[in-house]
Amino acid sequence: MATVKSSQNSLFKDLLVLSRFTKYNPVFTTFAGAFSCLLGGSAVVGPGSDVSLAWVFQQTALTVAACYAFCGAGMVWNDYIDRDIDANVARTKDRPLASGKVSTAQAMAWMAFQIIACWWILYFMLEGQDVNKNMFPAALGSFLYPYGKRPTMRKFYIYPQYILGFTIAWPAVCGRAAIFHGRESYAETVTASMPLLNMVFFWTIFLNTAYSYQDVVDDRKMGVNSFYNVLGKHVHLLLWLLLIPVAVCIPMYIEQFHSAWLWVSWAGVWALSLLRQVLRFDANDPSSGGGVHVDNFLLGAWTVVACAVELLRCYYA
């Protein structure tokens, strides 16, 4: 009996590892939704409003939970498709599917459970409105992402960073929908979310390119399709170029809130942090990408706090 329980515990731990729930990486997928939901809430709370602070925080928590669960499912799918590649890369050879610790049947069942959980969270959060419209784009991106790494995709100028960037940025729409469903049409929600969606899209490409550069030696041997394999030592120039749309989209998004706090805590802090990151990155030292990844996680976490402060400021104004 003890052996069976030990085996079940081991499987559960391996499933958590498979979804990256033992790491901070899945939290990246929640940032766009949290930013959008908190600042969307700041636009509708305040004197005379019937929107409570507790409701906005509830909607934010649900947005984060849905993104987190769906990311877990996406990680399973990625590792399922990449299991043969992962087995030949030093950094990924011990992943549960690549190493055989989790079977494909177990992985698929775990993935399905997380997808269903995400759908139900969105259904409750959006009161049944436009649930599939909010979920389908991220589902399509997650499905296509591992295929974007294949060398044949290079012929069509498709790189996995494009797909990943879109998938992580899409929750900006879901976060706004959590606040404005019933107040505006789905098309209006998407349009209003575009500056934030584009910002997170290019930011994700920036941080993923820097982070994934750690695998450049193994990836080149296997012909993995990626920006850094195409550009080689020019990858540093690419990182500089990716900062331009980020720098443009942040002001476009926060300008609508007329908040000095956001200009300092978001635009100001991001400008200093991203400049520091790109200056620290060394194309001759692939390991330098790891530090960039950590810095961006801290930057995203700080911005969630900054948006929460803006919500509180507007509520108590």
pLDDT digits (tens, 9 = 90+) for 236-252: 788 888 999 999 999 99
Mean pLDDT per block of 10 residues along the chain (317 residues) reads: 61 93 92 98 90 96 97 94 80 85 94 97 97 96 86 72 91 98 95 97 88 60 57 76 94 96 97 91 74 88 98 93
Q: Which homologous superfamily is 28-41+50-301 in?
A: UbiA prenyltransferase (1.10.357.140)
Q: pTM value? A: 0.90
If you search the block for the tokens 């939970």, which residue do you land on? Answer: 65
- Angle of CA points 23, 26, 32, to nearest 5°: 145
Q: Which of 23, 32, 18 is nearest to 64 (CA)?
A: 32
Burial class (CB in 10 A: 0-12, 13-18, 19+), 37: buried
In this predicted structure, what is the pLDDT of residue 239? 86
Phi, psi of 50 (to 5 degrees): -95, 5
- Virtual CA dihedral for 110, 116, 119, 123, nearest 10 degrees? -140
Distance CA 38, CA 28 (A): 16
In this predicted structure, what is the pLDDT of residue 55? 97
In this predicted structure, what is the pLDDT of residue 225? 54
CB atoms within 10 A of CB 135: 20
In this predicted structure, what is the pLDDT of residue 169? 97
SS3 301: helix
In this predicted structure, what is the pLDDT of residue 263? 98
CA 131 to chain centroid: 19
